[in-house]
Amino acid sequence: MTDLNPEESARTVEAIFQAHAELALPAGPMPSLAAGSVYAIARQACLRLGFIEIDADCIALAWQRQSERTGHFDPLAWPSEPEDFGLAPWPRQNAFALCPRSLGLYAVLPDAQWVARMAEAGVPTLQLRLKSDDPDTIAREVKAAVKAVEGSASLLFINDHWKAALDAGAYGVHLGQEDLQILSEGDFEALRRAGLRLGLSTHGYAEMLRADRYSPSYMALGAVYPTTLKRMATAAQGTARLQRYARLIQATPLVAIGGIDAQRLPEVMSSGVGSAAVVRALVAAPDPEARARELSEQVRHLDRSPPLRPEPPFWDQELHRLPWCRDLVAQAATIGQEILELIRKFRPFMPYPKYGNLYNNTWDAFPLSVFQGEHIELSKEKLSVSMTPLIQMFRTKVPITSSLIGPLESQGHLRNVFVSRLIPGSIINPHRGWTPDYLRIHLCLVPDPGCRITVGGITRTWQAGQLLAFKDGGPYPHSVVHSGEHERIVISFDLNLQYVARFIPEVL
């Protein structure tokens, strides 16, 4: 776009300032501006509004991209589209495990005893912010806090002490911007593999964009109001800026933090965040439990957060929350031995039904339960007995596997259990299955790194003894390409989503 002359540039800077004056904070000296590009004019206006330089740079670049995308420079249109800020689309390969869109009242607490009290009071989200450098104290307090929320509905995040959180099996960790410089990619991958949720602190546009590259479970935005609990490098942001931040990062659950109390909650929650963090409003209250119940109800009533980003293609990061899935992984070696011995002795595989152009080359399977919604079609020449006696015979040969299938199957939560084999060169073409109300779970018995499954544009491989889960009839088509050298064998289970939601509410 053509640069504006100095007079036009000055008028446009003034127009931006007047149109967005509610975002203004005290500003430092202004550099002079000659003839200006969109970027230069927007940056100058943002500096005048009191944005720090690195944030002004981010906004100005987004304004330039917005102008290029729309074909004109509009001083009234504050940039808010993720693509203009260079944010990657969802779903993402590196995403951390989901947490609820609305985390509700978020209590930041000094020790495990406070965690226990607030869990008992029904606060939905808790953070242990322990101020100690002693390893023994850290390990003891983190373990005690994790123990304190067991059996409650409270979700517990551990501030800073991520290794102790990993060891104790915490729900999640919360890290600051400085931690992004300290932790390695391997450290973040360890948290991701363990299924821990990740929360990251941010204090403006540049830090939000940096945090977004890690695809965290939630972001904390602040400080909204002045606070003396923590020395802040930036001024309190105010609710007008909070609203802009929430509009940009609406694909991620958001927590407002900093100086929030009961009187300020309506204004904070109207910004579009799904949670408000409090510290002194609870721990300094005359009756903390009563105040916790009041604030929790107030946040719940005021929540106006928009719908969450599209659901993840894969759900295996969440399965550790299901006791049945934990048992499945614990017995994976025995299940594998049973199934592979059954295959060796009886050679039970038969061609998977080829509905239309479902697959190319060879896809074999055999059932361990009666199928519903999908049917194994067997020619009379290959098999002269009905499926039920065959399944019963197979089940007697795999007693440990059957003991895990039986209870959930009899309760109506589990169906369509089968063993699936793909040979090299096989392709399962993109499709959606016939089971929209079920989560399909694979336990891998024999992997091949060259056999890859793609769901919703995200590609994964199976790992021996590990679970992989997706919605067979869900929103994303899935496909498989086997370009490896060995056969891939998994046992597949369809678990009812209503049952799964007892442990993973966000699956619905």
User: What φ, ψ does residue 387 adopt, rounded to 5°?
Assistant: -65, -40
- Helices 53-70, 205-212: axis angle to 10 degrees equals 70
Residue type, 250: Q
- What CATH class has 104-302? alpha beta
C-alpha 147/C-alpha 143 separation (Å) is: 6
C-alpha 305/C-alpha 249 separation (Å) is: 11
58-77 pLDDT, tens digit each: 999 999 999 999 999 999 99
State how beta strands 427-431 and 359-360 pair. antiparallel
Distances (CA, A) of 39 to 206, 281, 362, 447, 454: 16, 42, 57, 51, 39
Structure tokens at 55: 């944030």
Cis peptide before 276 (omega within 30 of 0): no
SS3 197: strand
Which H/E stretch holds residue 364? strand 363-367
257-299 pLDDT, tens digit each: 999 999 999 999 999 999 999 999 999 999 999 999 999 999 9
Structure tokens at 3: 């640069």
C-alpha 211/C-alpha 219 separation (Å) is: 8
CB atoms within 10 A of CB 342: 21
361-399 pLDDT, tens digit each: 889 999 999 766 444 444 333 443 467 888 999 999 999
Given pLDDT bands bounded at 50, 70 and 90, which one contains residue 354? confident
Residue spans per domain, the chain = 6-85, 104-302, 316-507
pTM over the 0.85 mark: no
C-alpha 188/C-alpha 424 separation (Å) is: 33
CB atoms within 10 A of CB 77: 15
Residue type, 140: R
Q: Is the pLDDT of residue 105 over 90?
A: yes
Has domain 316-507 been given CATH number 2.60.120.330?
yes
C-alpha 426/C-alpha 487 separation (Å) is: 10
Structure tokens at 97: 């495990």
Share of the chain above pLDDT 90, in %: 77
Contact at 8 Å (CB) between 115 and 235?
no
Structure tokens at 207: 């830090």
- What pLDDT does residue 380 have? 35
469-487 pLDDT, tens digit each: 999 989 899 999 999 999 9
State how beta strands 458-461 and 350-351 pair. unpaired
Contact at 8 Å (CB) between 118 and 107?
yes
User: What φ, ψ does residue 45 adopt, rounded to 5°?
Assistant: -65, -40
* List of E strands, 70-183: 104-109, 125-128, 155-159, 172-175
- What pLDDT does residue 372 have? 60
Contact at 8 Å (CB) between 36 and 3?
yes
412-450 pLDDT, tens digit each: 999 999 999 999 999 999 998 877 889 999 999 999 999
Whether 316-507 and 104-302 are alike in CATH topology: the answer is no
